Chain A
């Protein structure tokens, strides 16, 4: 892992267009400003870890069919939502 020292208001550049600047330092908390293209998601690592855990939990341990009897599974017809993305 690359380790860099930065002072307040100093920054690093990742690739051509991701800028990370140290905005504030207060005891054990560092506040970072991140400037990235709109198509690049930026998240706290814990958020991703939380989603990973939830997805793994969703894959049920039991490998038995979800219903023992009944009609077989078929490809679902997905319908659109009217809710507009804002």
Chain B
């Protein structure tokens, strides 16, 4: 800890789910207000696995056992139209649409079904790397919106076909 680290310097962390990961300080995002249910966890690394191209993982750096899958909600719900409340825009300092991204946390109960929390998306300011899960209370969106999925057999076949296909 004694040596001064520049932002670009690569660090490594051993994670129970993902093994040893190389990352940089500016790959992290911070939830200053915590994540509901995990209010004490502030620092997260956003990870992606080449085998899961639609998902990212919010990996806690404060408790390495905590990792939440998330995805771009518009991949599955093209008409999703969240209206961010004033507190979100003010606290995250959102001015330009280019400054931020939106992630929906994914619940996979293990029976093949998947759900996305469209009622409380995670908003990330890409410049400051500050994030907040924002409740859209009166939006009518559910915390467990079923993600339309193709059946596992079709998914397997599609993945196999993709693996065999020559890169574009």
Residues of A within 8 A of B38 (CB): 55-56, 59
At the interface, yes or no: A76 with Cβ under 8 Å from chain B?
Answer: yes
The answer to whether A51 touches B21 (Cβ under 8 A) is: no
At the interface, yes or no: B158 with Cβ under 8 Å from chain A?
Answer: no
Give which listed residue, A50, A57, A66, A78, contacts B107 with CB less than 8 A. A57
The answer to whether A73 touches B48 (Cβ under 8 A) is: yes
Interface of chain A, main secondary structure: loop
Find residues 31-84 in chain A having any chain B CB closer than 8 Å to their own CB: 38-41, 43-44, 47-48, 50-67, 70-84
At the interface, yes or no: A85 with Cβ under 8 Å from chain B?
Answer: yes
The answer to whether A80 touches B101 (Cβ under 8 A) is: yes
Known: A39-B91, A41-B135, A52-B37. A70 touches B97 (CB 8 A): no
Known: A70-B49, A84-B97. A59 touches B124 (CB 8 A): no
Known: A51-B117, A53-B37, A78-B46. A65 touches B98 (CB 8 A): no
Give min CB distance, B44 to chain A, whole Å: 11
How many contacts A-B (CB < 8 Å)? 156
The answer to whether A59 touches B67 (Cβ under 8 A) is: yes
Q: Mark B20-40, 1 if CB is under 8 A from A, else 0.
A: 011110010000000111100
The answer to whether B101 touches A78 (Cβ under 8 A) is: yes
Residues of B within 8 A of A (CB): 15-19, 21-24, 27, 35-38, 45-52, 56-57, 65-69, 72, 74, 81-91, 94, 97-102, 105-110, 117, 119-120, 124, 126, 133-135, 137, 143-144
Query: Could you list 18 further interchain pairs (A-B, Cβ under 8 angstroms) beyond the known A54-B117, A55-B36?
Result: A43-B135, A44-B137, A47-B137, A50-B119, A51-B117, A52-B36, A56-B37, A58-B68, A58-B69, A60-B108, A61-B110, A71-B49, A74-B21, A74-B50, A81-B97, A83-B74, A83-B81, A85-B100
